[in-house]
Structure 1
Amino acid sequence: MSDSQHPVRPTDPRTVSELAEAVHAGLPTTIADLGALVRIPSVSWDAFDPEHVRRSADAVAALVEGTGLFDQVSVSRAPIGDDGALGQPAVLARRAARDGRPTILLYAHHDVQPQGDDADWDTPPFEPTVKGDRLYGRGASDDKAGVMTHVAALRAVREVLGDDLRVGVSLFVEGEEEFGSRSFAEFLAQHQDDLRADVIVVADSDNWSTTVPAITVGLRGNVTFRLTVRTLAHASHSGMLGGAVPDAMMAMVKLLATLHDDVGAVAVAGLTSRDADHPEQTEQQLRDDSGLLDGVTPIGRGPILSRVWSQPSITVTGIDAPSVANASNTLSPEVSVRISARIAPGQTADDAYAALEEHLRGHAPFGAHVRIDDVDKGDPFLVDTSGTAIADATVAMTEGWGEAPVQTGIGGSIPFIADLVRTFPEAQILVTGVEDPDTRAHSPNESQHLGVLHRAILSEAILLARLDARG
């Protein structure tokens, strides 16, 4: 990835030193506040209690209010579509810029993924537990540590620079990112003036390691949907009719098998890849990061990081079918799966969805009936690395971490970034984060490395100070 074209001066050493002292002194409070947020099971999916998300939003709002820096702090919800449904509560705060200083928008999200099976966790998923240099718990990293990075950086900046900041600060802590940010576009439309900024920091990404930071400059898009295959009007006896009548599970398995070729590369015509240079990653590092079992081979073609940054992928993330415990000798009439496709930068989600739909309908075996619904789409994103903001962030992260950041891609998706770009086309986007290769976001035993949290807070505080000092 290319270097910034705007080298800038180092930050005032005294300011860096004072911010470092303030961040270090505040770290115990930061960790305690993070633990309190982790205890709130703020899963934003429809099947979970929305009261937890409301409690989480209120807790975040109290933390933001406690910084004492904002002219206004509120909890707000926006509609989803035209049916009157409301999205999950988000926290919004604003401090106006003065003396010609820029405004920075700090984004994170306070909702979390479902914990899955508690038995797969070594510690209770919503009981924050420190082991060694990591804090374990659902949302400890993704993205409640991102929330606390903003809060703690603002606390440190206020302690060092005082109340009379000139840099404008907006803060937006979303409540439904893990469920597709379904009210995001409407929220932007309702609060466009409050969210308008020159620089936008999205604290929801990865770092190269626990000692080397990263700025994410490429993100895959996503297309997710429910795929239903139906072959029978009703269930039938598998002994009486098996071998002559195709059941829905058989048809589904055959259809899903057409999505990949023999080496596991995506085999859907019309899904594209991006040609780019990638840092080298060894197969052993992939095995260590993913927990790939002995004897199981990686899938796909090309450099490993190309496969996860610049090529499409398709994953079946859930299935509705009779459970093993409830299995009977029956031909299933209908089976549904949830498909999650990641889209390479350079292709729109709409085009990718059209290719997937055409493939699935065209490859349905035995004339099986195919239905696709509950569709979510998000476009990929490439960061413009030529702006001054990425140069400032590079200096701030180098000073905060003691190592220069790597410019990376990421296999995951942050679909709402495309909405931000459409709404604020002049803003410079910085995608940072507090995760590392061992975080296990979305998985059992998610954790936050506390050293990474410390350095991320300091880096953001330095960036805020740099913007405040800019004439």
Structure 2
Amino acid sequence: MTSEPASRDLSDTDEAIVRSVDGGFPAAVASLGELVRIPGIAWPAFDASQLEKSAHRIAQLAEDTGLFSRVEVARAPVADGDGELGQPAVLAVRPARAGRPTVMLYAHHDVQPPGDEALWETPPFEPTVRDGRIYARGAADDKAGVMTHIASLRALAETVGDDLDLGIVLFVEGEEEYGSRSFVPFLEAHADEMRSDVIVVADSGNWDANTPAVTVSLRGNAHFHLTVRTLEHASHSGMFGGAVPDAMMATIRLLGTMWDENGSVAVDGLAVRDAPTPAYDEAQLRSETGLLDGVSPVGDGTILSRIWNKPTVTVTGIDFTPVASASNTLSPEVTVVLSCRVAPGQSSAEAYAAIERHLRAHAPFGAQLEFSEIDLGDSVLVDTDGWAISEARRALADGYGVPSVDYGVGGSIPFISDLVERFAGAQVLVTGVEDPHSRAHSPNESLHIDTFRHAIRSEALLLARLNERSAP
């Protein structure tokens, strides 16, 4: 983690930008609340019309800035989907003038399902302000990212106006939480008009609610379903238990081979990145995660090395008999969902191959294994020496009033590697509005209101300064 001192000398334009952001902040919060109330979820079990509604509302917000020559809601075919279309995305374009660079602003408007609503303290799609935070599904991930872009553009239009020569591409995806299945076809269909010199991905987090960060590394992911079979049909556990291995027994034994006694992943062929990490103690981990008293952390090495630079294996779902329906039966098959994070620098395909080899080699009692629903995404290592990241650090320091930090993230944003591949030479800046207490994807997701304000200030300052640069 590195930092840069906060700048004290703001230009007249910078001062005007900050005043504009602060004056427009209530409207930004109101627009965010409007978007949060639209439950746009890309998974097939949910109402797809809500994604249409969300996309069209964002398109109108983009149109209302007055900055774009064209705004549209568009779909692209799902990769290898036999003509199936992906979810609606918003694309707004303003060509660069006078030799200025073009910046792409990315966010996504789809959200995770709410999960068990009984675990929410307030309704998941009704934004509620409590203790300086806005609670709602998508309040942080990633509708605040959408509104950071829109509110920054509003300030830019108000302060720079007709002197704006910066090229801008606003790209708001509609299926990031569902695997970005049409992402690459969308880029291919719109490659020329989306080509950019700088790409700002507003879908990450910060060191804490007061300290901004530029994300410079993210782990990759390998996500798949594993089915374990031992019987042609269920049998009486009393009549045959003790001689016949049931599928749950085999699954437990198999999964247990994937970690050592410390909880570290024990799969040959999974890489570990060797990189320094800043100070971060167990007390901070407990505060940010809700780790129960008496429950110890897992793994070895520094805590942040375990989160940023090492692989993980997590069971995130299981198909098995519910407790209410349990009977004295030997189960014939069990399906689990495994979500595995891959150390930065290792390809997800290589990591998945190592995991599959391990599971096949350790299948107990000759249990039959089936692998399905395989979804891979590569890790990200951002070039930290470019001029754009230097500008981003300075803008974050000025927008938040404290030094920015370079930050690693244990999560994954696989589509960034697609952006890097298709827009060679573009500098990628990964930012965001989340903090360690945002609980993205979990019940009671929230957005720290002051972080939101500072994020908008920072992005608006960055865009205004890019408007004064020549394209590379």
Over the matched positions of the two proteins, sequence identity in percent amounts to 60
Determine if contact 1:216/1:431 at 8 Å carries over to the other structure. yes
Q: Which residue of 2 aligns with 1:410?
A: 409
Counterparts in 2 of 1:35-434, with a 5 A limit? 35-80=33-78, 81-434=80-433
Distance in 2 (CA, whole Å) between partners of 1:212 and 1:9 is 14
Measure, in 2, the Cα distance between the counterparts of 1:140 and 1:55: 17
**Structure 1 residue 47, shift from structure 2 partner:** 2.2
Given residue 38 of structure 1, which amino acid in structure 2 is its aligned partner?
A: V
**In 2: Cα distance, 1:10 partner to 1:464 partner:** 19
Q: Is the 8 A contact 2:6 2:398 kept in 1?
A: no
Is the 1:134–1:448 contact (alpha carbons within 8 Å) kept by the matching residues of 2?
A: yes
* Partner secondary structure for residue 325 of structure 1: helix
CA distance in 2, matches of 1:9, 1:411: 29
Contact 1:8 1:391 in 2 (8 A): no
In structure 2, C-alpha distance between the alignment counterparts of 1:330 and 1:398, rounded to whole Å: 61
Q: Is the Cα contact below 8 Å between 2:2 and 2:405 reproduced in 1?
A: no
Instruction: Tell me if the contact between 2:395 and 2:459 (Cα under 8 Å) persists in the aligned partners.
Output: yes
Could you tell which deviates more after superposition, 24-33 or 79-88?
A: 79-88
- Using the TM superposition, give the Cα deviation of residue 334 of structure 1 relative to its aligned residue in structure 2, in angstroms: 1.1
Q: CA deviation at 1:3?
A: 7.0
Name the residue aligned to 2:14.
16
SS at match of 2:92: strand
Mean CA deviation greater in 62-71 or 101-110? 62-71
Paired residue for 1:452?
A: 451
Whether contact under 8 Å (2:198, 2:388) holds in the other structure is yes
Q: Are the aligned partners of 1:10 and 1:395 in contact in 2 as well (CA < 8 Å)?
A: no
**More displaced stretch, 43-52 vs 455-464:** 43-52
Amino acid at match of 1:456: A
- Return closer, same or farther for 1:342/1:264 CA change in 2, 3 Å cut-off: same
Residues 209, 448 of structure 2: 8 Å contact kept: yes
Query: SS where residue 338 of structure 1 aligns?
Result: strand
User: 2:285 is aligned with what amino acid?
Assistant: L
SS at match of 2:181: coil
What SS does structure 2 have at the residue aligned with 1:413? Answer: coil
Q: Is the 8 A contact 1:218 1:383 kept in 2?
A: yes
In structure 2, distance between residues paired with 1:109 and 1:15? 30
Please report how far the alpha carbon of residue 165 of structure 1 lies from its aligned counterpart in structure 2 after TM superposition.
Answer: 1.1
**How far is 1:469 from its partner?**
1.3
Conserved 8 A contact 1:205-1:433: yes
Tell me, in whole angstroms, the C-alpha distance in 2 between the residues paired with 1:198 and 1:3. Answer: 24
Q: What does the per-residue CA deviation read over 1:179-209, in whole Å, with 9 as the maximum and x for residues that have no partner?
A: 1111111111111112110000000001011
CA distance in 2, matches of 1:21, 1:260: 53
Equivalent pair of 2:137/2:445 in contact (CA under 8 Å) = yes
Deviations 1:216-246, CA, capped at 9 Å, x for gaps: 0001000100111111111111111111111
- Alpha-carbon separation, structure 2, partners of 1:93 and 1:210: 30
Further displaced range: 426-435 or 322-331 = 322-331
Secondary structure of the residue that 2:71 maps to in structure 1?
strand
* Aligned residue type for 2:43: W
Moved more, 11-20 or 378-387: 11-20
Cα 1:41–1:334, aligned 2, differ >3 Å: closer, same or farther?
Answer: same
Q: Which amino acid aligns with 2:299?
A: G
Kept in 1, the 8 Å contact 2:3–2:405? The answer is no
Q: Alpha-carbon deviation of 1:132?
A: 2.2
Q: Is the 8 A contact 1:11 1:462 kept in 2?
A: no
Does the CA-based 8 Å contact 1:104-1:170 persist in structure 2? yes
Aligned mates of 1:12, 1:447 — CA distance in 2: 31
Separation in 1, partners of 2:444, 2:7: 41
Cα deviation 1:370-391 (Å, max 9, x = unaligned): 0001011010010001100001
Q: Which moves more between the two structures, 373-382 or 60-69? A: 60-69
The whole-number CA distance in structure 2 between the counterparts of 1:70 and 1:261 is 55
Amino acid aligned to 2:13: T
1:8 is displaced (CA, Å) by 13
Deviates more, 1:13-22 or 1:451-460: 13-22
Q: Displacement, 1:9?
A: 9.2
Instruction: Please give the root-mean-square deviation of Cα atoms over the aligned residues, in Å.
Output: 1.5
Query: Deviations for 1:99-139, whole angstroms, at most 9, x for unmatched residues?
Result: 00000000000011111100111111111101121000000
Structure 2 gaps of 5+ residues are: none
Q: Distance in 2 between matches of 1:130 and 1:463?
A: 29
Contact 1:434 1:453 in 2 (8 A): yes
Distance 1:164 1:259 in 2: 58
TM-score (norm. length: structure 2): 0.97
Q: What residue identity is the alignment partner of 1:193?
A: D
- C-alpha distance in 1 between matches for 2:339 and 2:447: 25
C-alpha contact (below 8 Å) 1:319/1:338 kept by paired residues: yes
Is the 1:113–1:138 contact (alpha carbons within 8 Å) kept by the matching residues of 2? yes
* Cα drift, residue 152 of structure 1: 0.2
Counterpart selection for 1:30 from 28, 33, 48: 28
CA contact (8 A) 2:223 2:375 kept: yes
1:133, 1:163 → 2: CA distance?
36
Q: Give how far 1:368 is off.
A: 0.6
| 8 Å contact kept, 1:8–1:392 | no
Aligned length: 469
Shift of 1:11: 7.2
CA deviations on 1:325-362 (whole Å, 9 max, x unpaired) are 11111111111111100001110001001001101111
Letter in 2 for 1:55: K
**Is the Cα–Cα contact under 8 Å of residues 232 and 334 in structure 1 kept in the other structure?**
yes
2:293 counterpart letter in structure 1: D
Letter in 2 for 1:214: A
CA distance in 1, matches of 2:154, 2:344: 36
Specify whether residues 408 and 247 from structure 1 end up closer, same or farther in structure 2 by C-alpha distance, changes over 3 A only: same
Distance 1:189 1:209 in 2: 37
